[in-house]
Amino acid sequence: MYEEIEIFGEKIRIKNYLCSSNPNKIKRQNAKLNLYIKINDACNAKCEFCSNRDMQDMGNINLEKLEYVLDYLNKRNLLNRISITGGEPMLKLDLLNKVANLIFKVIPNAMVTINTNGFNLRKVVNLDSINKIEGIHISRHHYEDELNKQIFKMDVATKEDIEYVMSNVTNKKLLRLNCLLIKDYIDKPEEVEKYLEFASELGIFRVGFVSLMKVNGYCKENYINFNSVFKKEIMNPKTIAHFYDMNICECINGVYISKKGKFVECYARMTKELNCEYSRQFVYTSDNRLTTGFGKAIII
């Protein structure tokens, strides 16, 4: 289900519906997409699940063109959230700061998030717009620092780094944790519960669990279907809502109550189909192209 629109002189198909608890019924909505701004393609981690692990392009963002694109999409009322990502955006802190400032200059009420593996995490408190940013999503694939480091094959944010940021920002909902479900790491209900207990102790209010996308041999070998981990009859509490996006993906949303009575929002997601005939997000690449998705068609 999609609608066709014209932007920058190009006709594109974009998603125009909401996910539903019934995979056979959908609800239409005004077409709005998330925009991902890749400020670089380079990453200092060597994750085996990543299809771009060998990319080391630091990019060369043209801020004037980015401003033009932001203004155009905003005036067309086509934007939902804006996510600054990479590569690893924390490798280019000065540019990250400039891009965040630019977004809020063009769209003062923008909902902006940052995706990071946690490198240089303590320095996010120095961003000019830190009090405007809605969330910083930290990829952390195990509750134990050493096992998390083992997955990334490098030093990333530790428990102490997360505690430092939490104690130095006013928005206590700023940090969120994203965890991939990987065989022999976080791969069963009891491991998910340990992870959520870890998050609750840190004061993290939202945690996401994501099944690997089968983009390479490692992902196929270590794939965990989230439905085998998140079951209503074993989760605490039993308040899980299941949603479907046609045959593209499915997810669950819920709330976890820790052993100390703390609440943690949690969700899990699984992409089932990598190819889609319509655009589900916009991506502004590090070489200054606006595309219909990651690795998808160029619009401008």
State pLDDT tens for residues 133-156: 999 999 999 999 999 999 999 999
Question: Phi and psi (nearest 5°) for 133?
Answer: -70, 130
Q: Which of 49-58, 66-75, 99-108, 272-281 has the lowest mean pLDDT?
A: 49-58
Strand ranges, E, within 16-141: 17-18, 27-28, 33-38, 79-85, 111-116, 135-139
Specify the CATH number for 2-291; select among 1.25.40.10, 3.20.20.70, 2.30.42.10, 3.30.420.40.
3.20.20.70
Q: What is the pLDDT of residues 208-219, one digit of tens each?
A: 999 999 989 999
31 pLDDT above the threshold of 80: no
Q: What is the pLDDT of residues 246-281, one digit of tens each?
A: 778 888 888 898 999 999 999 999 988 777 888 889
Rounded distance between C-alpha atoms, residue 87 and residue 48, angstroms: 14
237 pLDDT above the threshold of 60: no
Helices (H), 43-181: 63-75, 93-106, 145-152, 159-167
Q: What pLDDT is recorded for position 22?
A: 79
Rounded distance between C-alpha atoms, residue 26 and residue 16, angstroms: 10
3-class state of residue 157 by DSSP: coil
Instruction: Name the most confidently modeled range: 12-16, 95-99, 261-265, 267-271.
Output: 95-99
